[in-house]
Amino acid sequence: MTSDPKDKMQQLQRILRGYGPLAVAFSGGVDSSFLVAAARQALGDAVTAITVHAPIHSRREVAQAAETAAALGVRHLVLPFAEMDDPAFNANPPDRCYICKRIVFGEILRRAAAMGLPHLAHGVNLDDLGDYRPGLKAAEEMGVLSPLVEAGLTKADIRALSRTMGLNTWDRPSMACLASRIPYGRPITPGVLAMIESAEEFLQDLGFMGCRVRHHGEIARIEVPAPDVERLVREREAIAARLRTLGFTHVALDLEGYTQGSLNRVLGK
C-alpha cells in the first residue's frame, strides 16, 4: 500500500465512485468532514451528510456540523434521536459504544434507505483500529462502509489532505460523544451529560480546545493538552468556581494532560 497521501486520495476517490449514491454519518469532525468533502468531489450531489442530534452530542458540535455541511455544499439531514431510551446504554457497560452504534446506525440506515441511498459510510481511519472501539464492530456487522480505512488513510494523512483542500476542519481537535467522559458502570443521565457539556463549553470559551471534563461523581477531572496545563493552573480559581456552580463539589486537573481513551485503562485490570 502506498504511503503517499496524494495516492491514497486517488484511491479513495475510486472507492467512493464505486459505491454510487452515498449517505455519510457526519459529526462535523476532522474525519467525517474530510470524507464528505471527498465524496462530494467523487459523487457530486449523490452524497448526503446525516448528523444525529442526541443528548450525548454537544449542541455546539451539531451546529458546527451544520455549518461545515453548508460550506461543503452537501445535503445535510439532522436526526433528533434519543439513545437515552435504551436502559442497556444508560447502564454504561464497557461495550456502551457498541450498543449506541447499533441504535444510531440502524436509524441512519433506515432513513438513508427511505431516501434511496443504498450505502452508509462513516469516517473511521486506519489509526482508529488500534484503540478499543466496540462501535466499529457494530458498524461492520451492519454493513457500514469504511472508505478511509480501505484507502489506507491515517489521521495525519487526513489532516494534511484536509489542509490542502482548504477545509477549516483540518486542525480541529478530536471529538467524542459526551458519554465517553463517564467511567464505565456509572449511569448515563441527561443531568450528568448537561454538566459535562456546560463545563467543556466554559473551558473552550477560555481557549482550552480539545479539553475533556471526566465526570467522577462529585469530582470533575479536567484533561487539557499538555501545553495548556500551566495556563489552566494559573486560571484554576475561576475554573473551579464555575464548575462548582454546575454541580461539581471538587475540581481536579489531570497532570498527564489530555489522553485519548484514558477511561479505557480500567479494562486491562
The mean per-residue pLDDT over the stretch 51-68 comes to 94
The mean per-residue pLDDT over the stretch 162-191 comes to 95
Task: Domain ranges for the chain, please list them.
Answer: 5-164, 178-268
Give the DSSP letter of residue 95.
Answer: T
pLDDT category of residue 259 using cuts at 50, 70 and 90: confident
Q: What pLDDT, on the 0 to 100 scale, is given for residue 81?
A: 81
Q: Given a cut of 60, is residue 269 above it in pLDDT?
A: no
pLDDT category of residue 173 using cuts at 50, 70 and 90: very high
Q: State if pTM tops 0.85.
A: yes
CA dihedral 57, 63, 65, 66 (to 10 degrees): 140
Cβ 217 vs Cβ 250: under 8 Å: no
Give the pLDDT confidence of 9-45 residue by residue, as tens digits.
999 999 999 999 999 999 999 999 999 999 999 999 9
Q: Are strands 212-216 and 219-223 parallel, antiparallel or unpaired?
A: antiparallel
Q: What's CA 266's distance to the chain center, in Å?
A: 22
Q: What pLDDT, on the 0 to 100 scale, is given for residue 130?
A: 82
Between 69 and 266, the more confident residue is: 69
Q: What pLDDT, on the 0 to 100 scale, is given for residue 1?
A: 61
Task: Give 5-164's CATH code, choosing from 2.60.40.10, 3.40.50.620, 3.40.50.1370, 1.10.260.30.
Answer: 3.40.50.620
Nearest-CA neighbor of 223 among 190, 187, 180, 266? 180
Q: What pLDDT, on the 0 to 100 scale, is given for residue 3?
A: 81
Q: Given a cut of 90, is residue 227 above it in pLDDT?
A: yes
Q: Given a cut of 80, is residue 247 above it in pLDDT?
A: yes
Strand order in the sheet with 212-216: 212-216, 219-223, 250-253
Q: What pLDDT, on the 0 to 100 scale, is given for residue 100?
A: 94
Average pLDDT, the chain: 94
CA distance 108 to 71: 22
Angle between helices 30-43 and 59-72 (to 10 degrees): 20
Give the pLDDT confidence of 117-157 residue by residue, as tens digits.
999 999 999 999 987 889 999 999 999 999 999 999 999 99
Give the pLDDT confidence of 194-222 residue by residue, as tens digits.
999 999 999 999 999 999 999 999 999 99
- CATH architecture, range 178-268: 2-Layer Sandwich (3.30)
Nearest-CA neighbor of 176 among 223, 226, 141, 218? 223
Q: ∠ CA 146-61-236 to the nearest 5 degrees?
A: 120
Q: Given a cut of 70, is residue 185 above it in pLDDT?
A: yes
> What residue type is assigned to position 146 of the chain?
S
pLDDT category of residue 262 using cuts at 50, 70 and 90: confident
Q: What pLDDT, on the 0 to 100 scale, is given for residue 268?
A: 64
CA distance 262 to 149: 24
CA distance 106 to 205: 35
Cβ 249 vs Cβ 219: under 8 Å: yes
The mean per-residue pLDDT over the stretch 47-75 comes to 95
Q: Which residues contact 46 (CB under 8 A, 6 or more apart)?
A: 20, 21, 22
CA distance 6 to 152: 11
